[in-house]
Structure formats: C-alpha cells, structure tokens
Amino acid sequence: MNVLKGKKILVIVTGGIACYKALDVIRKLIEKDVSVDCVLTKNAGEFVNVLSFESLLGKKVHLNLFSLDEEKNMSHIKLANKCDAILIVPCTANFLAKIANGIADDLATNIILASDAKKFIAPAMNTSMWNNKVVRKNIKYVEKIGFFILNPKSGKLACGSKGRGKLMDVDLIIDEVSTTFFEQKLLGIKVLITTGPSIEKIDPIRYISNFSSGIQGYEIAKILSNFGAKTTLISGPTNLEPPRNVKLINVESGEEFLKSSIAQLPADVFISVAAISDWKSKKISKKKIKKINGVPNIKFSINEDVLSDISKSNKRPKLVIGFSAETNDLIKNSKKKLKNKGCDWIIANKIQDGVGFMSEKNQVFYLDKNKVESWPKMKKNLVALKLAKKIVSFFKNNRL
C-alpha cells in the first residue's frame, strides 16, 4: 500500500556532512510516485553540487529567497501552500535552532513559518552537539509544537567519533513519513501480538528453538500501529529493529510468552504469530550436560499453549487470530487447529524454500469457520497489510 502516491513533499536540505544522503531520500520518494520539490540552504550547496539534485529531480531546485525570480513569484508562499509535507534532511543544530526560535532569514525558514503542512526533522550532527542541553531543549520544543522528529541512530560519525547523531537510515525515513499518512481506522483498538521463536532451556548453554525470524509479527505490529491501534508486541529473541509507536516486551520461553500475554489483557485483538516450541525440558540442568556421560536422557513435557489459553480466557479478546506453520497437510491441519484452539481466524503458511521462516516473503491461506482464502506469494509487509485490512473490516462490521 503506497500511501505516499500522489503526495507533494518538499525536501529541505541543510548544510551537514550527511546532506548527500538527501539525494537517496529524494530518489526513493520519486520511486513512490511522490511529487518532490527541493530547497537547498546556502551551506548545503557547499557539500553537494546543485546539479546533482537538479539532475535527479529533472527540474530546478530552490536556493535563495532574495533572488529577483524568487521574490517576484513569492516562492516561499507557493511552496509552503502546495506541499503535503516538509522533510528537513539532514537538519543541522544551527537550522534546528532557527526553527525553534522562529527565525526566517532565508527561503527554507520562510517556507517553514508559512506552511501548515506536516513537518519532519531528520537531525544529523556530532554526538556532543546532539547531547548538548540547548539542542535537547530545541528538539523537545519543536516536537511539542507539532514537528515529527526522526531521531538519529548511533554509529561511527564523519568526525571519527562514535555515538548517537548519525542520520536515520533512508528507508526508515521514508517509512516514518509514510506512517503519518495512514488513516487512523483502528483508533481506540488495543492489539496484542506475539512473534519470534521461543527458547526452551535444557541447561545453561543449550536450548530448543526454531528458525522463526519474527519478521511477520513485527510487520503486523507496524501496520496496525500505523492504522492507529494501540499495539503491544511480545517478542522472542530476534535481530529486528523495534517498530515505532509499538510497546515491545522481550521474552524467551513459552511460559514467559503466556505470562506476558495474560498480563496485557484485556485487549480487542490477539494475534499469535510466535513460533512457540511444542515441548520443553521437564528439568533444566543447572550445569552443562557433559558429552562424556553419553547421550543424555532428557525428558520433555508439553509446553504452554498460548493461543489456546488466550482463546479460552475469561478476558478473551473480541478477535483472536492464530498462525499455523506446517510442512504437510496445511489446510487439514490448520482447520483442526482453528477448531481445537478456539480462535476466530487462522493464517496458515507452508514452510518451504523461499517462503516462511528466515525469508522476507510468505505465501499463506486465510481460514475462518466458513471459508478458506488463498493469498498470493508476497512480501511479509504486504501480508501484514492484507491482514490489517481484514481487521479493519471486522471492527467496521462488529462495533465494540
């Protein structure tokens, strides 16, 4: 779902060392069918050639408020009025200070004061500058008055030091801007999602687990949050970046998944995406089990069934959705799971090469008590979007 298609976004580039990355931001916006205009501050032109921006845009960039042409055409008013959003990338500490204090001494700052559009600030600067009390005060103030702050990440900076201040990843910048254009169709709905693998310890070193990456659950959490749902994500160990505006609870074992899920009730929707091990060791050895003693006699017991327990809870959510990963008899086994677990919907996916675990794609079937729908093979973010649309329809037809 390309919510940016047809939008008009003005990119303001200020004079930081990261300003070359603004070219990549503009390119990705154009790929999403966004109409892009660009303003370069005087200092930005010292870092990147103006021609680079004009070649990418296929049109002139805007530079100086006081040129005859700009003044004649009142460019700061026209640009301010015709855009849906303003993205300042990168934003230097100096330019941030101007915004916070209402200074309008060039084209870029005049546009910001004259525009009612959404405004995004993607800061990039030295760590010490980012941590400076004046900069922190300015960030808090502009956020308070309605600017969206795309916080920098930690890493090695151009000055050679390490710390926070590195421009947010370009793809994340695009995602964050996109998020604000979603219709808040699930506002007031509380969603609880489990995702990722469980870890069931055998001894202090070894455990039982599986190949779940957690990607599908993270994508579902992200899209439902974008639709306005108050979203909590209970996650087993993954290497994924936590979704913005989502409450993240990290767990390991099936027991921890269950306890955390119950603690977060009541909720309106529960989505069990987590691949929780079916078995766990009856007894966890306090010491490493030594190979010298031969093959260990490990006794297993059935693990907690989080989906079933939540479905049958006296605090059962209005909508309970399970995931069913199978290697064979997918529909047959998933129909059985739908009935036995007591959930409303099952999303069934066959684990095979190229889809499912450890992949960015999934091919799933949607099952409820009345029908089975085959969904095409697609990226997991699109599976999440398709599921989110079904959830929106459910609450549209079944008002709480």
**Per annotation, catalytic residue among 19, 91, 159, 343:** 159
pLDDT at 359: 75
Q: What is the pLDDT along the chain (400 residues), one digit of tens a residue?
A: 688 999 999 999 999 888 989 999 999 999 999 999 999 999 988 888 899 999 999 999 988 665 545 555 556 677 888 899 999 999 999 999 999 999 999 999 999 999 999 999 999 998 989 999 999 999 999 999 999 999 898 777 666 677 788 899 998 899 889 888 888 899 999 999 999 999 999 999 999 999 999 999 999 999 999 999 999 999 999 999 888 789 999 999 999 999 999 999 999 999 999 999 999 999 999 999 998 878 888 999 999 999 999 999 999 999 999 999 888 899 999 999 999 999 999 999 988 766 667 677 888 999 999 999 999 888 898 899 899 999 999 998 876 4
User: Among 154, 179, 204, where does a domain finish?
Assistant: 179
* DSSP type of residue 237: S
SS3 (DSSP) at 240: coil
Please tell me the pTM assigned to this model: 0.72
Domain end, chosen from 135, 158, 179, is at: 179
Our answer to whether residue 159 is catalytic in this structure is: yes
Q: Within this chain, do residues 48 and 154 fall inside the same structural domain, yes or no?
A: yes
CATH number of 362's domain = 3.40.50.10300
- Same domain (yes/no): 261, 384: yes
Q: What are phi and psi of 226, to 5 degrees?
A: -60, -35
Residues 363 and 341 in one domain: yes
**Closest CA relative to residue 9, chosen from 88, 70, 69, 76:** 88
**Confidence at residue 196, expressed as pLDDT on a 0 to 100 scale:** 96
The answer on 216 and 81 residing in a single domain is: no
Q: Which domain holds residue 124?
A: 8-179
Question: What's the Cα-to-Cα distance from 324 to each of 239, 275, 317, rounded to whole Å?
Answer: 22, 9, 19
Tokens 């990355």, residue located: 21
Question: Residue 240: its pLDDT value, please?
Answer: 92
User: Domain total for the chain?
Assistant: 2
What is the gyration radius of the CA atoms in the chain, in angstroms?
A: 25
Q: Could you tell me if 209 and 132 lie in one domain? A: no
What are the residues whose beta carbons fall under 8 Å from the beta carbon of 240, sequence distance 6 or more? Answer: 213, 214, 215, 218
Report the Cα 342 to chain-centroid distance in Å.
30
Last residue of a domain, one of 179, 202, 227: 179
